[in-house]
Amino acid sequence: MPDPIVVQVVVDKPLSQGFDYLWDAKQLGALPQVGQIIEVPFGRGQEIAVVIKVSAHSDYQIDKIKYVDKVSPLPPLNLALLRLINFASQYYVHTLGETILPTIPQMWKKADSWKKNVDKINEARKKNPKAIGSQKEGFITAEQLNAEQKKALEALNNPSNSGTKFRTILLQGQTGSGKTAVFLNWISGILEEKDAQVLLLVPEINLTPQLERRVRAYFPDKIMAVLHSGVTEKKRGIAWYEAMTGKAQIILGTRLAALTPMPNLKAIVVDEEHDTSYKQQEGTRYSARDLAIWCAHDGQFPIVLSSATPSLETWIAAKAGRYEYIRLDQRAQGAKLPRVHLINTRDPRNQYSPGDQGAPKTKSLISKTLAQAISKNYQEQKQSLILINRRGYAPVLSCSSCNWLSKCSQCSSYMVMHKPGALGKRSVLNCHHCGLVKSIPQFCPDCGNADLKTLGQGTQKLEDSIEEMWPQARVLRVDADSSRKSKGAEELFQEIHDGNVDIVVGTQMIAKGHDYQNIGLVAVLDADARLYSADFRAAERLFAQLVQVAGRAGRAGAEGEDGGDIYIETQYPEAPVFQYLLRHDVDGFMAYIARERDEAKLPPFTYQGLVHAEAKSLEKAIGFLNELKARLKQHGMVPIDVYVYDPVPKTVMRVAGSERAQLVIESTNRKLLQEILENIDRDLRQQSQGRISKVSRIRWLVERDPIAI
């Protein structure tokens, strides 16, 4: 009797072991390969699985093992991807199956349609072999680059300071300095090698049709695969297939694209590398940027990290010479940098007094100084962009007699009042954490008083007050509510591009990516709300956002032309984050927060892990984490160099009826931190069904390198 063929596979379950199946060569054809996607009987049903090992033995009794059902016609996942996923699974303390299976698009998870899908795609390919158009929108050739950009491109092309093929390069330059034009030209050179593939990662919010067109314009004769959560499952499934079969040479996508099979990958660019959307916030909580660097190292090819405000980690590595450092210090088209103005809202000279000319009837968030600047900008026929990071009409409704507040019954947060039209025909209260919608009470639920008042302002209320203050101006609101309605976000952006709008009110969703041409003024109204927050990264994030926002002003100005103005309303103009912004001193700010973190021994000068716990009551969640901590101590599992904090409630403690707590674990020793996290995961999994503890029904999760504490 010939040796049996045994395949070991993983499935999408929190089980660390692989499962053995027999391979019937007569039925299934050729020998199985590692990385192959197959269907196996599992429990009472079927599961899609990935082959991780092929051998002639099993630790189980051969005649008890079941047979593989079906084999997909897809090529096996390539070995480089399997190595990457294996690393991600270990580092982020999640099982291999749970890390690998979610990277396969839904379209390829139904064995019945495998063949049909492949046939359809190949058929479509024959008819229309080139998926890319030939527009030349925003196309700047290597010859057209300015002197500074040319130097940057040369530095990218000439690895003079390193003999290795693996290079991590930070490309730092303010918004509008022409980074995109530089790295697209660099990619263009790499793609001259036949069949080479390049991955371009962008933040969630930046992957706009405008960017897609711009990338296409550079590579009219290449096939591009676009992968992000916004494309339909079908499109994503096709793009993934084009990438894994090597047909697509440009893979443009958000974080999930970092885990696409790309058998001939030769370079990676991570645009806006500091952006928090690169961190996956569920399942295997990976950082796509960090995985991309690992992948480049593993594959021995270069990776470019591009940003106007790099993450502190990256900036320090570049300063220390661990990364190559390329800078662009001028705006590509020669326009000046925007002027930054800090408006001290505590200073009465900046505010309207009653009876002032032009004072709005209702109290507005827009100070007198800002209003005057907007009027001037409007008269000069330039567009104004006004940002506030709170959508809805007002963040809370209150009773003037008993101080009742519109708390959400499910969460530890307030329900936001929305005007008619946003979420139905009438005004409603809506919780932005759990989505609960309620009608507006006529009377106070506690005391019966009919005089209910709104507190604070959101985008809708601001829109009203702007319409009141500039009755002639064409005002447009851009936020998740307005873009969900008839017109999608893209159409709203187009209105701005086409000059059909004078004043735009919106959340930060308007601040990213888009290359507007006629914005003379940008105002930020709620910077303070994000200045003093429990999260030690708050200032770093705020700074990055403000630089990003400022970059929208005077973007396309020609040589020596005005850079536009950015106004920031704040009660704390002396705060360092504003002072560095005033001087456009990105490096000064980075050095400042580096010192601060170093002194406080916070990341990146130490490393962190987190255990999340979610229960019906906070007491239970905290109790669960306290027990875990006690157990770790008792079993001598906490080395001297590792610090386990006390469990605490999360900032938004209650969401959708669950109460949430966390345990921070910290160490300057990465290896020890990794070990303790793995031990915790193993310990908790032993007493759990999946990741829910059997006794107390508490949902838990271990996270490495959390970005929000």
Give the residues lining the site for ligand ADP (CB under 6 A): 138, 140, 144-146, 149, 173, 175-181, 332-333, 515, 556
Taking the complex as a whole, the smallest distance from the CB of residue 431 to Zn ion amounts, in Å, to 3
Q: Which is nearer to ligand ADP, 559 or 599 (CB)?
A: 559
Q: Which does 505 bind (CB under 5 to 8 A by kind): Zn ion, ligand ADP, none?
A: none
CA angle at 113 for the pair 112 and 118, rounded to the nearest 5°: 135
Note whether 552 and 517 are within 8 A (CB): no
Mark the segment that binds Zn ion (CB under 5 A) among 105-113, 118-126, 136-144, 410-418.
Answer: 410-418
Which H/E stretch holds residue 577? helix 576-582
Q: Which is nearer to Zn ion, 274 or 654 (CB)?
A: 654
The amino acid present at 398, given as its one-letter code, is S
Q: Which is nearer to ligand ADP, 148 or 596 (CB)?
A: 148
User: In this structure, what token pair is assigned to residue 667?
Assistant: 């160490």
Q: What is the CA radius of gyration of the chain?
A: 28
Q: Which is nearer to ligand ADP, 149 or 384 (CB)?
A: 149
Residue (of 318, 307, 229, 251) closest to 275 by Cα position: 307
Taking the complex as a whole, the smallest distance from the CB of residue 268 to ligand ADP amounts, in Å, to 17
Q: Which is nearer to ligand ADP, 177 or 457 (CB)?
A: 177
Does position 416 interact with Zn ion (CB under 5 A)? The reply is no
Q: Which is nearer to Zn ion, 399 or 475 (CB)?
A: 399
Near Zn ion in 624-653, by CB under 5 A:
none
Which H/E stretch holds residue 304? strand 302-307
Mark the segment that binds Zn ion (CB under 5 A) among 6-14, 256-264, 400-408, 420-428.
Answer: 400-408
Half-sphere exposure at residue 270, Cβ-oriented, CA atoms within 13 angstroms = 30
Q: Which of 411, 428, 566, 701 binds Zn ion (CB under 5 A)?
A: 411
User: In this structure, what token pair is assigned to residue 377?
Assistant: 């900008």
Note whether 148 and 330 are within 8 A (CB): yes
From residue 206 to residue 225, the character string flagging contacts with Zn ion as x (rule: CB under 5 A) and all else as - is: --------------------
Residue (of 58, 6, 59) closest to 31 by Cα position: 6
Q: Which does 293 bind (CB under 5 to 8 A by kind): ligand ADP, Zn ion, none?
A: none
Q: Which does 410 bind (CB under 5 to 8 A by kind): Zn ion, ligand ADP, none?
A: Zn ion
3-state SS, 539-560, equals: HHHHHHHHHHHHCCCCCCCCCC
Which H/E stretch holds residue 312? helix 312-319
Q: Which is nearer to Zn ion, 402 or 692 (CB)?
A: 402
CA distances from 411 to 276, 659, 684 (A): 24, 8, 27
Q: Which of 350, 375, 410, 679 binds Zn ion (CB under 5 A)?
A: 410
Q: Which does 707 bind (CB under 5 to 8 A by kind): ligand ADP, Zn ion, none?
A: none
Residue (of 462, 434, 443) closest to 397 by Cα position: 443
User: In this structure, what token pair is assigned to residue 404?
Assistant: 């009742």
Q: Which does 34 bind (CB under 5 to 8 A by kind): Zn ion, ligand ADP, none?
A: none
From residue 420 to residue 439, the character string flagging contacts with Zn ion as x (rule: CB under 5 A) and all else as - is: -----------x-xx-x---
Taking the complex as a whole, the smallest distance from the CB of residue 567 to Zn ion amounts, in Å, to 33
Q: Which is nearer to Zn ion, 31 or 405 (CB)?
A: 405
Note whether 185 and 141 are within 8 A (CB): yes
Q: Which of 87, 166, 404, 536 binds Zn ion (CB under 5 A)?
A: 404
The amino acid present at 428, given as its one-letter code, is V
Taking the complex as a whole, the smallest distance from the CB of residue 380 to ligand ADP amounts, in Å, to 21
Note whether 35 and 78 are within 8 A (CB): yes
Q: Which of 145, 444, 489, 663 binds Zn ion (CB under 5 A)?
A: 444
Q: Which is nearer to Zn ion, 431 or 613 (CB)?
A: 431
Mark the segment that binds Zn ion (CB under 5 A) among 150-158, 260-268, 392-400, 621-629.
Answer: 392-400
426-438 residues labelled b (16+ CB within 10 A) or e (exposed): ebbbbbbbbebee
664 three-class SS = strand
Taking the complex as a whole, the smallest distance from the CB of residue 456 to Zn ion amounts, in Å, to 18
The amino acid present at 483, given as its one-letter code, is S
- Cα(569)–Cα(573) distance, rounded to whole angstroms? 8
Taking the complex as a whole, the smallest distance from the CB of residue 137 to ligand ADP amounts, in Å, to 9
The set of residues, in sequence order, having a beta carbon less than 8 Å from that of 155 and lying 6+ positions away, is 324, 326
Q: Give the footprint of Zn ion on this chain (CB under 5 A).
A: 399, 401-402, 404, 408, 410-411, 431, 433-434, 436, 444, 446-447, 449
